[in-house]
Amino acid sequence: MDILSATIFSPLVGVLLLLLLPGNKTFLLRAVSLIASLLPLAGSIFLLSFFDQKNPNFQFTENLPWISSFNINYHIGLDGISLPLFLLTTVLTLLSIIISFNIEKRLKEYFISFLILETGLLGVFSSLDLFLFYIFWELVLIPMFLIIGIWGGPNKVYASFKFILYTAIGSVLMLIGIIWTFILTHTFDIVQLSACQEIPLNVAKWIWLLFFVGFAVKVPIFPFHTWLPDAHTEAPTAGSVILAGILLKMGTYGLLRVNFSIFPETTMDNSLFLAILGLVNILYGALTAMAQKDLKKMIAYSSVSHMGFVLLGLSALNVIGINGAVFQMIGHGIITGSLFMLVGVIYDRAHHRQISGFGGIANVVPNYTAVMGISALASIGLPGLAGFVGELLCFLGAFSSFSKITAAACFGILIGAIYTLNMYKDVFFGHLNEKYAGLSDLSIREWIALIPLMVFILLFGLWPQLILNITDPAVQVFLKFF
């Protein structure tokens, strides 16, 4: 087994070990889960160290016959677009397991769900066969459904079924698109499909739409977004981190890998449509976030807004815009992951998430206040932090193609600054709610989970070339389709 396959399936080693352990051995369950999540992180770092940044093609490829009668192959590989998302998955999964050490209910099943989820996510970002891509895509749904439905909040059953229904409907449409593509081309291979361009335009526009809706649900793009706030609100902290940090990126990555590369002419015809949807996401998400009283719901709707920046960057169909979109995916994953962790920290202590229910806790929990401040400023795109670079590149790329839409989208940054800074003021400053005079500050475990994210927020904000040097060669070649 090559290193990429070993990395993808290494979490399943932890699953097998967890199945053999008794459910009451809390320390062992945590230790095995931690080690099992360290394995794919080590593998992804190894892949990064041997990744040729100047080579725009897929690397670490494996292409083995799987179901020969239908020309289905086990074809995987990574390029400069998928590698950063692959790395992000391994980092956030490890940190999510660390932040979950306070979980007590059915701990064994909880960690098993997370490790299976990680394998599915890694598979999505490395699959180069549409059938294999779909298998990994569906593998992600079940563990996330269980994480929300078993370990979630009071309305967890409603939220989990809403999540599975929306995403399953999107998956069915995507499956129809995959089958239709195979009937016309007799291959599932994404690389071959990107090169052949044999599908008639009058048919391609319908297949493009099937794939688009399947991915739009996951992004989520308005009006397919309504599952997201419920899922975030009810999911446990680590579930929200993975949802916002990685699952949403499956949708925009799918658009790039499938819609853009296999159907470039149809994508060009729909570029204005994508830009308008990006604008709607940005403004609708920001305005709705501003109206929220619950911290988690506010961050959930802000994710809808920030994914609109990704759509806007993608719609530009130029080097700056697509580089910006990929950078925004990474930056948003890190920033929103830290925000959801921080909401979980305060919820564990206060047992509520109402913005107006705190007030003046900055002097009580100064470390928590500082970390939340960095994450909040990154979220509104403060220069020098990771959020700024992605948004700026998305705007620069889109402005040349859609100047009016891009100008209108800039108001999303202003609205985002208003609701984020208002939240920060209401929670941390003003009159102290005496109920929270004895709040404890960040624990060692919480510091361990949060420090890497703070480092990445600063590092990528000050040195964006760490990501752009990886993505740019692949984006340059990717744009040959257009």
What is the tens place of the pLDDT at every residue in 273-285? 999 999 999 999 9
Q: Average pLDDT, stretch 400-407?
A: 93
Hey, is 411 helix, strand or coil? helix
User: Which pLDDT does position 281 carry in this prediction?
Assistant: 95
- Neighbour count for residue 70 (Cβ, 10 Å): 12
- DSSP single-letter state for residue 402: -
Q: Which residues contact 146 (CB under 8 A, 6 or more apart)?
A: 109, 113, 160
Hey, is 443 helix, strand or coil? coil
DSSP run (H or E) holding 195: helix 190-196
User: Which pLDDT does position 1 carry in this prediction?
Assistant: 60
Q: Which residues contact 158 (CB under 8 A, 6 or more apart)?
A: 230, 234
Q: How many whole angstroms separate alpha carbon 353 and alpha carbon 356?
A: 9
Q: What is the DSSP string of 139-175?
A: HHHHHHHHHHHHHS-TTHHHHHHHHHHHHHHHHHHHH
User: Could you tell me the CA-to-CA distances from 104 to 133, 151, 403 in Å, in that order?
Assistant: 34, 10, 52
Q: Using 50, 70 and 90 to split pLDDT, how confident is the model at 432?
A: confident
Q: Using 50, 70 and 90 to split pLDDT, how confident is the model at 16?
A: very high
The b-or-e profile of 251-290 (16+ CB within 10 A means b, else e) is bbbbbbbbbbbbbbebbeebbeebbebbbbbbbbbbebbb
Query: Could you tell me which residue, 371 or 362, shows the higher pLDDT?
Result: 371
- Residues of the chain above pLDDT 90, percent: 81
Residue-wise pLDDT for 284-303, tens only, equals 999 999 999 999 999 999 99
Q: How many whole angstroms separate alpha carbon 368 and alpha carbon 362?
A: 8
Q: Which residues contact 183 (CB under 8 A, 6 or more apart)?
A: none
The answer to whether the CB of 422 falls within 8 A of the CB of 359 is: no
pTM: 0.95
> At how many degrees (to 10) do helices 444-462 and 82-99 cross?
160
User: Which pLDDT does position 62 carry in this prediction?
Assistant: 95
Give the amino acid at 295.
Answer: L
Tell how strand 72-78 and strand 59-67 pair up.
Answer: antiparallel
Q: Which of 451, 450, 452, 336 is nearest to 390 (CA)?
A: 336
